[in-house]
Amino acid sequence: MLFQAIIKSIATGDAEQSMALTQRALAQGFSAESVLEKGLIAGMDRVAEKFRKQRVMVPEVLMASRAMHAGLSLVEPLLESTKKICTGKIVMGTVSGDLHDIGLSLVKMLVMSTGTEIINLGVDVTPKKFAAVVKKEKPHILMMSALLTTTMSVMKEVIDELESLGIRKNLIIIVGGAPIDAGFAKRIGADYYFEDAFEVRGFLEDNLTKLISKKLK
């Protein structure tokens, strides 16, 4: 099946094949959402699961990420053209010292369908940069990711910076990444932790409007 072939192309890190198969799926009439979820995301999720079990190394994950991005380059414009009415604003980024954007890309693609405005700061974002953007853009949610254990502590630095500027109170903070867990999220003062991008999307679809209303009171 075509989706299985896309999944395999990502698992093997074959960017050219991923793009060709994605193009074929779209040409055959599959929706951008289905290609994203059943092909590209499913492929990356399989790699992420292997990474969590230490069955693949970071270089293999990065190759898979490049293959996924190749397909996303065709899917993303189609998703953007079918966005719903904006229901909130999210600032996201990978913390300083960490150059991995796999989690960010997955979350961005999945959350895009909710109609939420997303400001992606990319990788290696310093606490001061996070705080400056939050102060300027006034988002409802801040999402931070880290793939390395050595950069986890930066998340706490970001929260401390937000608190020192007095802009933490009405901001929902979500953290995630391979070395992060619920206990760590609680210790640093984050509001939520999610294991993967699918959990983030499901949570936002069910709770975004309610959370925004609660935070604005």
Quickly tell me which residue has 């991923």 as its tokens: 18
Distance, in Å, from the CA atom of 18 to the CA atom of 131, rounded to the nearest integer, reads 37
Q: What is the pLDDT of residue 187?
A: 97
pLDDT number for residue 138: 93
- Note the pLDDT of residue 16: 97
Question: What local confidence, expressed as pLDDT, does residue 114 receive?
Answer: 67
User: Given strand 117-120, what is the order of strands in its sheet?
Assistant: 117-120, 89-94, 141-145, 172-176, 192-193
CATH code matching the domain that covers 89-216, chosen among 3.40.50.300, 3.40.50.280, 3.40.50.2300, 3.40.50.1820: 3.40.50.280
Q: For the chain, give the number of residues.
A: 217
* Joined tokens for residue 72: 């996303």
Pair type for strands 89-94 and 141-145: parallel
Q: Cite the beta strand spans of 53-130 per DSSP E.
A: 89-94, 117-120
Neighbours of 121 (CB within 10 A): 18
pLDDT of the residue at 82: 53
Question: Tell me, what's the pLDDT at 216?
Answer: 53
What residues does each domain of the chain span? Answer: 2-80, 89-216
SS3 1: coil
How does pLDDT run along the chain (217 residues), one tens digit per residue?
899 999 999 999 999 999 999 999 999 999 998 998 899 888 887 887 787 677 887 688 778 888 988 998 899 888 765 555 557 899 999 999 998 877 787 787 677 666 688 999 999 999 999 999 999 999 999 999 998 999 999 999 999 999 999 999 989 999 998 899 999 999 999 999 998 777 887 888 788 777 666 655 5
Residue 34 confidence (pLDDT): 92
Could you tell me which CATH number the domain at 2-80 has? 1.10.1240.10
